[in-house]
Amino acid sequence: MKFKNSPLFFKRIMIPAIILVFIYFLGSLGYMIIEEMTFLDSLFMTTITLTTVGYGLIKELSEAGTIFTILLIIFGTGTAAYILITLTDFILSEFLSGRIEKRRKIKMISKLKNHYIICGLGRVGLEIAKELSGNRVDFIIVDNADGPIEIARQNNWLYIKGDATNDETLIETQIASAKCLFAALDTDSENVYVILSAKSLNPSIFVVARATIHETINKIEKAGADRVVSPQIIGGRRMAAMALQPSICDFLNTIMQIEEDEIKLAEIEITPNSRIDNVIISEAGKKYEIEALIISVIDKGEKISIKKASGDTKMKSGQKIIAIGTASQIKHLTDLATE
């Protein structure tokens, strides 16, 4: 059995056990010196004294031998009882806490809805998990290696240990009610299998996939990925941009921070019957004192819009707003678009 609190186990069990062995040794030595017994007889007397089995004495004890036996019973049996009780308590507590933790995890997973699924907690998946955790978004991790699972456990992230390419594993993640899936496994072929499985179980799920080779991006898109990201390509372009346009890169770095005091970009979906549904931008700004700058309005189904939103642009349910502002300004706009 693998204990989660091994250092505590050593302190509570191993140290008293060492003391008991020492008492056992002293008991045998004491009978040899006080009662002049042989080594085997001394060992036998110490054993029946500490275990309290009730066998008769090998010989009548002297007054010194009787006192020694009383002390041996007090210290030896007390130590043995302490070890037995502590060991039982420790094993039961570890077993029960493990069962409770497992039940808690199953219950929390069963309640997931509109959550995110991270397939693969490697370098890319770990950064995704940190970002989602920082934004307080519900997510679950799928990985079949011990190292990533231990990282998830230490961070109190929901996880399932298993193969993300298997339908059964994805079903356990409540994929039918999930909002988005990240295919961040080590190989592009594995990510293709994950995408195919995910789309077959939930055709409407939004899939963001990682591509390690530029030539496979098209294949991953054909498999059903809504967005494909190549860390190598993005990293190379970002490094070049930092050299060519450092101020712009610094500005983008600032607005993409999650700290509340920073300016940030936000994507907000307009829900039906919200306060800004079917309202033009200029009217909404005056009526609700919107301070965030609405950069663009994207129609449903569009991947990107480069058209600048004007004051006459009407916002409708199903559309997405791209806006920039402080955390409080973005929250105010989000409330207007979703309430």
Q: What is the pLDDT of residues 315-334, one digit of tens each?
A: 888 888 888 888 888 889 99
**pLDDT at site 68:** 85
Residue 275 to residues 279, 299, 309, 319, Cα–Cα distance (Å): 8, 18, 18, 14
Q: How many Cβ atoms are within 10 Å of 202's Cβ, its own excluded? A: 19
Q: Is the pLDDT of residue 296 over 80?
A: yes
Q: Is the pLDDT of residue 1 over 50?
A: no
Of residues 220, 142, 123, 234, the one with CA closest to residue 181: 142
**pLDDT at site 100:** 62
Is the domain spanning 6-108 CATH 1.10.287.70? The answer is: yes
Confidence of residue 7 (pLDDT cuts 50, 70, 90): low
Note the CATH number of domain 254-338: 3.30.70.1450
Q: Which amino acid is at 70?
A: I
Beta bridge pairs of residue 279 = 315
Determine the average pLDDT of the residues in 115-128.
93
Of residues 211, 231, 233, 232, the one with CA closest to residue 222: 211
Residues of the chain with CATH 3.30.70.1450: 254-338
CB 175 within 8 A of CB 198: yes
Q: How many Cβ atoms are within 10 Å of 252's Cβ, its own excluded? A: 13
Q: Is the pLDDT of residue 13 over 90?
A: no
Confidence of residue 127 (pLDDT cuts 50, 70, 90): very high
In percent, how much of the chain has pLDDT > 70? 86
Determine the average pLDDT of the residues in 228-245.
80
Q: What single string gives the DSSP state of each residue in 42-79?
A: HHHHHHHHHHT--PPPSSPPPHHHHHHHHHHIIIIIHH
Q: Is the pLDDT of residue 3 over 80?
A: no
Q: Is the pLDDT of residue 308 over 90?
A: no
Q: Is the pLDDT of residue 122 over 60?
A: yes
Residues of the chain with CATH 3.40.50.720: 116-236
Mean pLDDT, the chain, rounded, equals 83
Report residue 127 CA to chain centroid gap. 12
Q: Is the pLDDT of residue 37 over 60?
A: yes
Determine the average pLDDT of the residues in 282-309.
78
Residues 6 or more apart in contact with residue 68 via CB below 8 angstroms: 30, 31, 34
Q: Is the pLDDT of residue 304 over 60?
A: no
Phi, psi of 105 (to 5 degrees): -65, -45
Q: Is the pLDDT of residue 151 over 90?
A: yes
Q: Burial code of 79-113, b = ≥16 C-beta within 10 A, e = fewer?
A: bbeebeeeeeebeeebeeeeeeeeeeeeeebeebe
Confidence of residue 63 (pLDDT cuts 50, 70, 90): confident
Determine the average pLDDT of the residues in 85-99.
68
Whole-angstrom distance, CA of residue 186 vs CA of residue 199:
20
Note the CATH number of domain 116-236: 3.40.50.720
Q: Is the pLDDT of residue 6 over 60?
A: no
**pLDDT at site 126:** 94
CB 245 within 8 A of CB 307: no
58-62, 142-146, 168-172, range with the lowest pLDDT:
58-62
Structure tokens at 237: 């372009």
Considering 94-108, 169-183, 275-289, the range whose residues carry the highest mean pLDDT is 169-183
Structure tokens at 110: 């069963």
Confidence of residue 139 (pLDDT cuts 50, 70, 90): very high
Determine the average pLDDT of the residues in 246-274.
73
Q: Which amino acid is at 211?
A: A
**pLDDT at site 262:** 63
Determine the average pLDDT of the residues in 162-187.
93
Of residues 287, 279, 291, 281, the one with CA closest to residue 324: 291
Determine the average pLDDT of the residues in 200-216.
91
**pLDDT at site 303:** 60
Beta bridge pairs of residue 297 = 321
Confidence of residue 302 (pLDDT cuts 50, 70, 90): low
Considering 109-113, 301-305, 308-312, the range whose residues carry the highest mean pLDDT is 109-113
